[in-house]
Structures are given as C-alpha cells and as structure tokens.
Amino acid sequence: MDPRALHKISYGLYIITSRKGDQINGQIANTVFQISNEPPTIAVSINKKNLTHEFIKDSKLFAVSVLAQDAPLSLIGNFGFKSGREVNKFEGVDYQLGDSGLPHVTTDTLAYLEARVLQEVDAVTHTIFIGEVTAAEVLKDGAPMTYAYYHEVKRGSVPKTAPSFVPEFKDKKAVSGKYECSVCGYVYDPAAGDPENGVEPGTPFEALPESWVCPVCGVDKASFKLLK
Ligand code: FE
C-alpha cells in the first residue's frame, strides 16, 4: 500500500466546537462534509481521545467554524495542538455563543454551522458524528482554507491524532538546513522563512531571534531539531 495515495484526497479545514454544561471546547478537523440537503445534514470524524469528542457525546451538539484561507498558523495551532484539558483554547480568541450555547470563532472564519447529532458511527479510533444542521450563517466572503493550501502554501503540520495523519517521507537531499518542531512536526525551511511572523525567506534557522517560536504550536527554538 502506498500511503501517499491518501494525500490525494482533498479536504477543508475547520474548527469543531462543542460544549458540556457550561464548559466549551474546540479542535481542528479536516473531515467535515455535507451528506444531504433535505434536511441538511453534515458529518465530522473526531478522535475518541479528544476532549471535543467527550463534549459532543455529552451534549449531542457540535458547531463548525469554516476557516478562511488567510487564517494564521497560530490560530490553527491553538485549536489543533493544544488540549482543552490543559488550557482554555478560547482565551484571546474572538468568538460568539449561539442560541444553543455553542461557540463560533469569529476571526479568520467565513461561516459557521451548528448541528444536532442524529447518529454516531464507530470508526475504531474515531467516531463519525452525523448531524442535522440547526443554524448556519455566513460571516464574511472569501476563499476557505483547504487542507492542501495549509500543507503546501502555509506549510502547516498535523497532529498524530488526525484521521489523515500519514508519517511524512523525508527526502534527504531536500532537507538541508531545515529544522523540525519536536512537538508538532512543523518544519522550518530557511528558503521559505516565516513571513507571517516577519522572518524573510532566506533566513537560516540559526539567525532566527531567540524570541522566535514555532508558528503552529508556540514552543521555543530549543524544541527544534535539525533534519538529517
Ligand atoms: Fe510546533
């Protein structure tokens, strides 16, 4: 089996939120799609280990915030590489609560949808939640973030708990001077720099200021290792 074939499947990128009582949480997912139109139903696949999974199981509700193409890596990292068991992911994030008490991220998102779970499908490590859409609104126009854009243009990384996680094949000749974040797998490429955070293309890793942090998960330079 060639796992690279799985990379040919296309996806978007979303923040999935839910609640349990007064607690709210959210996480990144790429696996959201519309199933039917009458009534409108959507599905999402969520890792059983994630806190958002526990919350959706409890409330039978979830919301989807559709990320804009220009959403910063830091927002995706905040919801994708941290656990709501350890931090409040909504601290410092602009959001609103819908009628059902579900949070919608309002910055760097194009739209939100809310759904009530109709059915759950056990998929070993994940549960597929199928829900009927109960509310939806467009917040602004623009291109939605796609999974391919996140990888290829933003050069973002993916946690091992993502359904689409495939260990990267690293071409030795292509990795000269690249450093990898040991926490999230983000690769700093000197040729590309980190323009989102003011680092120009052509800046060697060694020349990054000590204040520079992983643009995805926020750890410091010491957490990076040279790719060999
Ligand atoms: Fe990182």
What is the Å distance from ligand 1's center to 72 Cα? 14
Are the CB atoms for 36 and 120 separated by under 8 Å?
no
Are the CB atoms for 27 and 161 separated by under 8 Å?
no
58 or 164, higher pLDDT: 58
Q: Which amino acid, one-letter code, is at 165?
A: F
Model pLDDT, residue 172: 43
Model pLDDT, residue 7: 83
What is the Å distance from ligand 1's center to 183 Cα? 5
Q: What is the pLDDT of residues 124-162, one digit of tens each?
A: 999 999 999 999 999 999 999 999 999 888 888 888 778
CB-proximal residues (5 Å) to ion ligand 1: 181, 183-184, 186, 214, 216-217
How far is 29 from 44, CA to CA, in rounded Å? Answer: 8
What is the Å distance from ligand 1's center to 154 Cα? 14
Model pLDDT, residue 180: 95
Q: What is the pLDDT of residues 75-115, one digit of tens each?
A: 999 999 889 999 999 999 999 999 999 999 999 999 999 99
**CA separation (Å) from 180 to 101, 164, 166, 177, 212?**
39, 20, 16, 10, 14
**Distance of alpha carbon 87 from its chain centroid, rounded?**
16
**Token code pair at residue 122:** 């056990």
Model pLDDT, residue 157: 84
**CA separation (Å) from 91 to 17, 25, 81, 105, 220?**
14, 11, 15, 11, 20
pLDDT greater than 90 at residue 171: no
Q: What is the pLDDT of residues 6-53, one digit of tens each?
A: 889 999 999 999 999 999 999 999 999 999 999 999 999 999 999 999
Strands 61-67 and 179-181: unpaired
How far is 171 from 202, CA to CA, in rounded Å? Answer: 20
Model pLDDT, residue 128: 98
What is the Å distance from ligand 1's center to 9 Cα? 24
Spatial neighbors of 225 by CB under 8 A, at least 6 apart, are 179, 180, 182
What is the Å distance from ligand 1's center to 216 Cα? 5
Q: Could you identify the residue written with the tokens 């942090």?
A: 213
**pTM attached to this predicted model:** 0.87
Nearest to 162 by CA among 9, 42, 38, 1: 9
What is the Å distance from ligand 1's center to 111 Cα? 27
Are the CB atoms for 215 and 186 separated by under 8 Å?
yes
Spatial neighbors of 195 by CB under 8 A, at least 6 apart, are 201
In this structure, what DSSP letter does residue 102 have?
Answer: -
Q: What is the pLDDT of residues 188-198, one digit of tens each?
A: 999 999 988 99
pLDDT greater than 60 at residue 174: no
Helix (H) or strand (E) holding 131: strand 126-138
Nearest to 66 by CA among 27, 26, 112, 104: 112
Model pLDDT, residue 152: 84
